[in-house]
Amino acid sequence: MNNFLKNVKINEHSLRPKYRQLADAILDGLESGTIHKDDILPSLHSFCTTLDISKNSVEKAYNTLKHQGIVGSIPGKGYYVAKDKVF
């Protein structure tokens, strides 16, 4: 999972919102096998500091995927991958 965090890139000049870029990177990681079902996703703080994006952007990305059933969360523990495939 640490390698996954290092491979995520956010394009500051893209017309695509940062939260969507992050959500797409997570989906790409799942499809490519870089991340798997039950993997714990990086904390909000980790993504914020590593990618230099706001906490709101990371939360919005996670919540977007959560509404799709791809990501789950446990209060006080964090977010995890809930599915093994994206359809």
Q: What is the mean pLDDT of each run of 10 residues along the chain (87 residues)?
A: 73 96 94 91 91 95 96 94 78
pLDDT at residue 38 in the model: 94
10 domain-assigned: yes
CATH of residue 59's domain is 1.10.10.10
pLDDT at residue 16 in the model: 97
pLDDT at residue 5 in the model: 67
User: Residue 43's domain spans which residues?
Assistant: 2-81
Give me the number of domains the chain comprises. 1
pLDDT at residue 8 in the model: 87
pLDDT at residue 15 in the model: 97
86 domain-assigned: no
The DSSP secondary structure of the chain, one letter per residue, reads -HHHHHH----TT-SS-HHHHHHHHHHHHHHHTSS-TTPBPPPHHHHHHHHT--HHHHHHHHHHHHHTTSEEEETTTEEEE--S---
